[in-house]
Structure 1
Amino acid sequence: MEEMSDPRLGTVRLFLKHDDNKARKLKYNLGPARVLSFGGAYSGHLRALARAGMERGFETIGVVRGEEHLPLNPSLAYARACGMRLVYLDRAAYRLKHTPEVLERLRARFGDVTILPEGGSNAAAVRGCAELPGEIGLDYDVICCPVGTGGTLAGISAGLAPGRRALGFAVLKGAGFLREEVARLQREAYGRVMTNWELNLDYHFGGYAKPSPALDQAYEQVYVAKMIYGILDLAGRGAFAPNSRVVAVVTGQPSTPVASWGEPTGFDSAEPR
């Protein structure tokens, strides 16, 4: 945990919680069998799954969106070095990855395999992410996280103590559907939908993994940067109660301390959010 200082915060205090949510999503999803999942060319989920397979001794298969490009980028090279078998689906087929027809073809090709959804977000992943709030050793009012598939927000919300709320920042353009996805995941994990969370759609800056020229960082930090910018902007607009204590969940492994990012001038305020 580290506290971030910025004049836009006013009386709001912002604490950064560095956390590997990918590992949390996998915690209750892994068994002894072969595991297959999906992701883009820079998928942190596929990297985490590959590492888990190497450490625990089970086979992993990564179904990657798009065509193969050689040499592999660092993310896919790492996954392969951990023993993951990489296969590719063109973008049209990838959009159908959740359909019974595609899943049946994958099972026919790879045999007895556990299939995890893209990003690892399912009921088991929600239960893993629900453990995060209880590990924060300070009093706080709001906890924030980036939202790509909804699993982390669904779990954080489920693990909150009474009186606290969760705020997710969508990293996708046109991500209103994620509200129902978060609700669906909570229903599957707990049989009900919590009322202590909300999803902000205003800070995607053009879409998932759209980088800022000022931030030469890993893809995880692109969507973390959007969340941080959103929190600062909302604080400046008075969206948080005076003297609120806000925790921002920083996923991935940042190359530079987040608290030193300073003014996010790389974001063009004229760009559609």
Structure 2
Amino acid sequence: MDFKLENSINKHLALPKKFGVELFIKREDQIHPFVSGNKYRKLKYNLQEAKKECFKTLLTFGGAFSNHIAAVASAGKRFGFHTIGIIRGEELKNKINENSTLRFAQQNGMQFKFVSRDEYRNKTSEDFLSRLKEEFGDFYLIPEGGTNPLAIKGCEEILTHEDKQFDYVCCSVGTGGTISGLINCSKPSQQVLGFPALKGNFLQQDISKFVTKSNWKLIADYHFGGYAKINEDLVTFINQFKADYNIQLDPVYTGKMLFGIFDLAKKGYFPKGSKILAIHTGGLQGIEGMNALLKKKNLPIITTN
């Protein structure tokens, strides 16, 4: 079971010479139009396992603009699974057509259950999952964000033999699955840097459950206030990056990571001559919804053409 994929390539980015480093970006966003980047990597072995165990239904969790929800819906349709999304926020029930992510997921056959934020916090409890099985029947459970051991196995395939040349491997961090896979397949000489998109220090503990190496670090200075938070500085950076390199960044994950890498390079964080690889994890489907929110706040929007 596999998608028809484009090859992931490393593109060199011309940085100001004063930075003294080389930066490349791995275009994981280009491997599939709808299940791109780390979402493909996380789902690959989970879908194989679901098929092997003869499950007909996939059930997962996500918020209003979740890349994961969109990816599971698209992958489910491609491989013949019924998909169910448990969505955070009861107020979204009557706003599906106003939300580009939920609209896309529904068009790909996903069935929704909207729950309150308080109820959503119990998504991993046995009682909550039992009630979902009573309501929907048997299903293959994929956690919020897709992170589990099979997801990490998929993310371990992001780096190739050619990538051993890099001194630093950088990625954005949501639930910790992608960086865990990168750490597991990194070389001892490499440092893996994670840029959390969420506030809080809980990710350190979550990642430590899946890795044994110590060549990694979380840089928590570039979350812009928390998950899906954004300001005019970040929009300006994303738009300038698009103009300079013809690469679209998403505002929730990859945009924040690249903002952080550029800022660290300016401040001399990386030793002179360092080679840095940034992983583009996709997530571009969320730009439409983010732009709608930016317009409501009378803020500049993210350029997409």
TM-score by length of 1: 0.85
Equivalents in 1 of 2:17, 2:257: separation in Å?
14
Q: Which protein is richer in helix relative to its size?
A: 2
> Matched residues, percent identical?
41
CA pair 63-163 structure 1, distance change in 2 beyond 3 A = same
Q: Which residue of 1 aligns with 2:267?
A: 237
In the alignment, which of 242, 252, 257 is matched to residue 222 of structure 1? Answer: 252
Within the alignment, does 1:52 sit opposite 2:75 as a pair? yes
In the alignment, which of 154, 157, 161 is matched to residue 187 of structure 2? Answer: 161
Equivalents in 2 of 1:165, 1:43: separation in Å?
29
Matches within 5 A, 1:89-168: 89-134=115-160, 139-168=165-194
CA shift, 1:206, in A, is 0.5
Unaligned runs of 5+ in 1: 187-192, 256-265, 267-273
CA shift, 1:253, in A, is 5.4
Q: Which residue of 2 aligns with 1:184?
A: 209
Q: Deviations over 1:65-120 (max 9, x none)?
A: 10224224111111111111111111010111111111111111111111111000
| 8 A Cα contact 2:67 2:283, kept in partner | no
Aligned residue identity for 2:174: G
| 8 A Cα contact 1:42 1:219, kept in partner | no
SS at match of 1:209: coil
Report which stretch shifted further, 119-128 or 106-115: 106-115
Report which stretch shifted further, 62-71 or 239-248: 62-71
Aligned residue identity for 1:244: S
Unaligned runs of 5+ in 2: 1-9, 29-36, 240-247, 286-298, 300-305
CA pair 219-8 structure 1, distance change in 2 beyond 3 A = same
In the alignment, which of 10, 22, 42 is matched to residue 19 of structure 2? Answer: 10
| 8 A Cα contact 2:62 2:86, kept in partner | yes
CA-atom RMSD in angstroms = 2.1
Within the alignment, does 1:197 sit opposite 2:216 as a pair? yes
CA shift, 1:219, in A, is 8.9
CA pair 58-84 structure 1, distance change in 2 beyond 3 A = same
| 8 A Cα contact 1:37 1:62, kept in partner | yes
Report which stretch shifted further, 127-136 or 146-155: 127-136
Aligned residue identity for 2:192: A
